[in-house]
Structure formats: C-alpha cells, structure tokens
Amino acid sequence: MTIQVKVLARPVADASYVRAMLSGMALTFKHMMNPHKKTEQYPDVKWALSPRWRGTHRMLTDETGKAKCVACGLCPQICPANCIKLVPGEDEEGNRYPLVYEIDEFRCIFCGYCQEVCPEEAIHVGRHYENSEYSREGFVYDLERLTAQTHPVCEMWDPADPKGE
Amino acid sequence: MMLATMASDPVVYGTFYDPAVAVTALPWLLFTILKMVIVFTVLMVGVAMLTLAERKISAWIQDRIGPNRTGYGGLLQPAADGLKNIMKEETYPDAAYTPLFILAPMLSFIPSLITFAVIPFAAPLSTRWGIVEMSVANVPIGFLYILAISSLGVYGIVLAGWSSNNKYSLLGGLRSSAQMISYEISMGMAAVSVLLLSGNVSLQAIVQQQQGMGWNVFPLLIGFFIFCVASFAETNRLPFDMPEAESELIAGYHTEYSAMKFSMFFIAEYSNMVTASALMVTLFFGGWDIPGTQWDNLPPWTFLKCLLTLGFFVAKLLFFLFLYMWIRWTLPRFRYDQLMSLGWKVLLPLSLSYIVITGGAILVLDMLRVPRGVQWFGISPFWAALGVLNLVLAVLVFVILDRGRIISPAYSRLSPIQIARLRAMSAGRSLAAGQGD
C-alpha cells in the first residue's frame, strides 16, 4: 500500500505576505472584540452537567432510610473493572441486605453498568465531579457514604424517550 | 504674500523657544531631577501594566478572559507578579560564569531605560523660572543618541546567552546579535529619510517639522513601514522573536535566569517596546502634536497645553503598544533564514534605494520652490507631493514586489516543471496502488 501524496499547486506568484498578514490581523481583532468568551468561571460558576453524566456513585434509600439494595450480586458480576465488593446478608424475615457494600472509585471506569443492571434501582452513578481526597483509602466508598451522598443521579436514558428513538 | 513664501529659503527647524528663556542653574537641576523621577516611575509602572495588557489582549484574542482574580479586573496582577519575582530564589548555575551572569541583566535593563530620556513627550511648559523642556534631556543629537544606546542592549542578551553556559541560551544570544545587527541598519536607514525632511537630528526639531508640514507617516510611508518592521525585530517581538523562541530554545538567552534577574530581562523587553513605540510616534506621527490644530505648537506654553499634548502623545504611544501585542498574537515566528533574507535582501536594499528616492524628491521639490508650510486647505504642497510619490511606491512594493518575493513562503519554492513532475509521480503511484488492490 503506497501513500498517495497530494501535491497542491501553491500560488507562489499570487502570494502576498502583507495581504495575508492583514487578513490575519482582522481575524484576531474580530476575536478580540467578540464578547462571547469561552472561559468558565469555575469555582464561582459551576459547570452545568449533562443529565447523562456518569460520576461518583450514590445508593438510593427507601422510606425508612435503609439502602434499597437487596444484595442480589448483579452489580459486582457485571462490573468490568471489578471495583464493587459485596457481602450479602439476610435478616430474620429472610430479606437480603448488603453486609458490606464498597465501591473503589479509583478502579471504577464509570461505565454505569451497575446502574443499568440493578433490579431495585438502588445503585446509581451520580452527576457529580468534585471528589478529591487526601488519601487513596478515601476513594473506597462504603455503604454509609454511598447512602449519604445527595447529588443528583444519572439519567441513563432520556425519560421522555426511554427506548432511544 | 504667496510669492514671498514661495521664494523663501527652506525652513530651518530648531527649538520651540529662545534658549535664553529656558530654565537655568538650580531650577534646571531640580526640574531635571523631578522629570527623571517622574519618567522613571511612569515607565516602570507602565511596563508593569503592559505585562497585564499583554496577557489581557492575548486572552481576548484567544476568546479567553485573562487574569481577573487579583484586584479589579486583574489590575493588581503586575504587583503580585513583581512581589513573586522578588521573593523567588535567585539561582546560579554551577557552570555559569558568574560575573557576566550577574552583569548581563543590568546591561540589558539600563540601556532600555535610558533611551527614553531624549523623547519629547509634551509641549514645553512655561514656569516662573523659565521654560521647561518636556523631555528628560533636551539633547541636540537626540536621534543619534537613541541609535547609539539602543544597540547596547544586544550586549546584555549576548552575554546572558554566553555566560549561562547552556546551548539553548547561547543559540538565543547568537541569533539575537545577528538579528539586531541586521535590522539596526535598515532601521537607521529608514530614519535617514526623516532626517532628510527635517534637516536636523534633534527630536524636538523633528516634531516641529511635522507640526509645520503634517505628519511624516504620509510623505514617508515606505520609510515608516521599514522602520516599523525593523523596530519589531529590534525589540525581539514576534514575528521576530528569534532570541527567545519559546518552542525551540526554551526562552533562549534567559533560560537559566530566575527571580528578579529574569524580571529585569522582561522589563527591558517591555521598556524597549515603549521606547520603540515612542520613537515611531516622534519620527512619523508628529510626537506630541495634536492633529488639525496649530494652537498646540505656539506659545504661550500653558499647563493645559502641556497636559493635552502629553495626553495625545500617550494615546499614540498606546496605539503602537497595542499594535505590538496585536501582531504578536497574530503572526507566527519567521524561520531563521527567512528572517535574515528579509533583513539583508529586502529591507536593506529597499531602505537604501528609498533614501536615494526621497533625497532626490526633496531636492527636486526644493528646486521647484514647492512651499513646505501649510498652503491650501490646511495641506502643505510639499507634504502632499511626497505623499503621492510614496503611495505610488507603496503600490509598487506591496502589489508588485510582495508576490512571494519579499518573504519566501514557508515551503521551498517549486518551479512549474517540478510540480508537474511531482504530480505525475503521485498519479503513477495512485494508479499502481489501484491495480495492487
């Protein structure tokens, strides 16, 4: 396979540095006068996230304040990064609940499969991005932390158009 | 009346007032010290604000906002930068030659500041002790002084490059010496046309000539163009910033410098810009002249007149400083060979032939007794005639010469035969590729 070289006819005889320079200066001047600047005033004005933004997780709770999770084990199963640690437990009435539920946000690739696979709509990826920590351990979110998060969650699809039509 | 003016000898431009009424002795000394302090302070503050202006303008051109966190609209940013530079550690590379390493920033800093001393920045001021000239030093050889001092700045850069003992710094220093020497010649030659017109090297006389006749930018258009290009090269600004060339030489001659020594190079660059702009204003844009009036060139030299003319001078100066920044954020850097060929093969012959043409034209116009003073509709016939000649020359240079000849394009030039051969090769290859698949 040879590389095809496209040889352009350069109009050397028609080229004018001065003219090109003036048109360039007109362009930069137009940009300078343009009042619509692209700068985001970040700490003052927060970035408007897309409704489908997939950020750090959040565990939704039921009316009693308990996590909705029934420890079915689908999310650790589907997780491609293997970042969810789940130890299931069962109470006297036979309801399953997670004894340990930890997500390592460092390993997470934010694919959102856990949210898609969850039958109880318990685990969600969140519309959130400010999550710096002072230690690596701080990035392993336990159940308590996951339920305590309050940021809005990702809408995996447009609610008005759930089938993506 | 008309005949009398036409028959008069060419006007001799000199000073604005009788030297007998100028301030002398102790008041002169005090006024000079006062002017020194004021000009130095204004220059330093102005340079600091220019760094902010540079960042703001670059930001606006790139659709950004620029520094806006320190003070109102970022106005305190230069103060913060200055404070930072004073607090930072001064580094001395082991391999550097320390005496010259310390001397180099001063050598580049001082000439850049003292060149401004001879620029007349406002109309003279009448005080009870006599008339005070509004330039730090009213040197009768003002222009020669500037040429002499401004070329000293290159020593600082070359010595900085050499004493750093760093190959990038050395390359930056060498490039700078080659560049500044090449363009200094065209710069001086372009200014000779102004001197031909004014008949005097004193900057005050040049301002006076332009007030009597009209600004030099029109009758000496090509001269202004050459001077402008050369002063961009002289101040190492883009598109001629070979000595620094961030992307190739890692800031060139000041790679090894830190803290206040680096800052001194920075201040030197910006005050060179101010001086070059002031020089362009003085030589070609009437200095402190207020356009369209004769009120400002005649006594009495009141305080209001001084202030107004200063305002006009500063406005013109700011326009050129803006032009410097505007061009910097528009044009890419020249290749080194393009730079040299522009300097030696285009600007130098152009400026030399321009001296001959201007000199000849002035001689012919004077022999025809074309009056220099303002004659009809506020226009001087001498000025208009030279201006028309320059317009013709400008068309010749920019429309006919500037066809890939003044600056050779960024690619090597191909003849039509070579292009045809390349085309055939390319077509053959694509044909072969098509058969191969």
The pLDDT of residue B2 is 39
Q: Which residues of A touch B221 (CB under 8 A)?
A: none
Residue B224 has pLDDT above 60, yes or no: yes
Helix B153-163 vs helix B259-284: angle between axes, to the nearest 10 degrees?
150
The pLDDT of residue A1 is 58
The pLDDT of residue B8 is 43
- For the ranges B85-99, B210-224, B419-433, the lowest mean pLDDT is seen at B419-433
Give the CATH number of the domain where residue A114 resides.
Answer: 3.30.70.3270
B66 to chain A: closest CA residue: A39
DSSP run (H or E) holding A21: helix A17-33
Give the model confidence (pLDDT) of B348-371 as tens digits: 888 999 999 999 988 888 888 777
- Judged by CB atoms closer than 8 Å, whether chains meet at A34 and B63 is answered as yes
Task: Tokens for B232, please give them.
Answer: 């961009």
What is the C-alpha separation between A155 and B427, in angstroms, rounded?
Answer: 53
Label residue B6 by pLDDT band (50, 70, 90): very low
Give the model confidence (pLDDT) of A133-145 as tens digits: 898 888 998 888 8
Q: Which residues of B touch A13 (CB under 8 A)?
A: 403-404
Residue B3 has pLDDT above 60, yes or no: no
Tell me the CA distances in angstroms from B5 to B11, B236, B367, one per residue in order: 10, 46, 14
Check CB contact of A24 with chain B, cutoff 8 Å: yes
Sketch the domain layout of chain B as residue ranges. Answer: 2-408
The percent of residues in chain A predicted with pLDDT above 90, rounded, is 8
User: Do A74 and A110 form a contact (C-beta atoms < 8 A)?
Assistant: no
Which residue has tokens 């003849």? B415
Instruction: Report the gap between the CA of A46 and the closest CA in chain B (Å).
Output: 17
Instruction: Report the gap between the CA of B433 and the closest CA in chain A (Å).
Output: 6
What is the C-alpha separation between B57 and A15, in angstroms, rounded?
Answer: 29
Label residue B198 by pLDDT band (50, 70, 90): confident
What is the C-alpha separation between A92 and B311, in angstroms, rounded?
Answer: 89
Check CB contact of A160 with chain B, cutoff 8 Å: no
- Judged by CB atoms closer than 8 Å, whether chains meet at A28 and B419 is answered as no
Q: Which residues of B touch A25 (CB under 8 A)?
A: 326-327, 330
Total tally of structural domains belonging to chain A:
1
Q: Which residues of A touch B60 (CB under 8 A)?
A: 31-33, 37
The pLDDT of residue B437 is 46
B432 to chain A: closest CA residue: A2
What secondary structure letter does DSSP report for B68?
-
Mean pLDDT, rounded, of chain B: 81
Q: Which residues of A touch B429 (CB under 8 A)?
A: 2, 4-5
Say which residue, B372 or B98, is predicted with more confidence: B98
**Closest residue to B426, CB basis, from A7, A12, A17:** A7
Across A80-95, average pLDDT: 88
- Judged by CB atoms closer than 8 Å, whether chains meet at B64 and A38 is answered as yes
**Closest residue to B433, CB basis, from A4, A16, A36:** A4
**Closest residue to B404, CB basis, from A6, A13, A28:** A13
User: Do A19 and A11 form a contact (C-beta atoms < 8 A)?
Assistant: no
Burial class (CB in 10 A: 0-12, 13-18, 19+), B340: middle
A9 to chain B: closest CA residue: B419
- For the ranges B44-58, B119-133, B261-275, B320-334, the lowest mean pLDDT is seen at B119-133
**Closest residue to B65, CB basis, from A7, A24, A37:** A37
- Judged by CB atoms closer than 8 Å, whether chains meet at A4 and B413 is answered as no
In a domain, A15, yes or no: no
If you average pLDDT over each of A152-161, B10-19, B43-52, B200-209, which comes out highest?
Answer: B43-52
Q: Which residues of A touch B426 (CB under 8 A)?
A: 4-7
What is the C-alpha separation between B134 and B299, in angstroms, rounded?
Answer: 14
Q: Which residues of B touch A32 (CB under 8 A)?
A: 57, 60-61, 326
Check CB contact of A5 with chain B, cutoff 8 Å: yes
Q: Which residues of B touch A5 (CB under 8 A)?
A: 422, 425-426, 429
The pLDDT of residue B322 is 93
- Judged by CB atoms closer than 8 Å, whether chains meet at B429 and A5 is answered as yes
In a domain, A105, yes or no: yes
Maximum Cα interatomic distance, chain A, rounded to a whole number of Å: 91
Label residue B73 by pLDDT band (50, 70, 90): confident
The pLDDT of residue B4 is 39
The pLDDT of residue B363 is 87
Residue A130 has pLDDT above 80, yes or no: yes
Across A24-44, average pLDDT: 87
Instruction: Report the gap between the CA of A8 and the closest CA in chain B (Å).
Output: 8
The pLDDT of residue A13 is 59
Task: Tokens for B258, please give them.
Answer: 């830190």
Give the best residue of A3, A4, A7 to mutate against chain B (max B CB count within 10 A). Answer: A7
- Judged by CB atoms closer than 8 Å, whether chains meet at A28 and B65 is answered as no
Structural domain including A131 reads 55-148
Give the Cβ contact number of residue B44 at 10 Å: 15
In a domain, A88, yes or no: yes
- Judged by CB atoms closer than 8 Å, whether chains meet at A16 and B398 is answered as yes
- Show contacts of B319-325: CB within 8 Å, 24+ apart: B320/B276, B320/B277, B320/B280, B320/B281, B321/B50, B321/B53, B321/B273, B321/B274, B321/B277, B322/B53, B322/B57, B324/B232, B324/B235, B324/B237, B324/B273, B324/B277, B325/B53, B325/B54, B325/B57, B325/B58
- Judged by CB atoms closer than 8 Å, whether chains meet at B63 and A17 is answered as no
User: Do B167 and B253 form a contact (C-beta atoms < 8 A)?
Assistant: no
DSSP run (H or E) holding B391: helix B381-395
Give the model confidence (pLDDT) of B310-354 as tens digits: 898 999 999 999 999 999 889 888 877 778 878 888 888 889 999
- Judged by CB atoms closer than 8 Å, whether chains meet at A6 and B326 is answered as no
- Judged by CB atoms closer than 8 Å, whether chains meet at B402 and A17 is answered as yes
Q: Which residues of A touch B407 (CB under 8 A)?
A: 17
Task: Tokens for A133, please give them.
Answer: 């920590």
The percent of residues in chain B predicted with pLDDT above 70, rounded, is 88
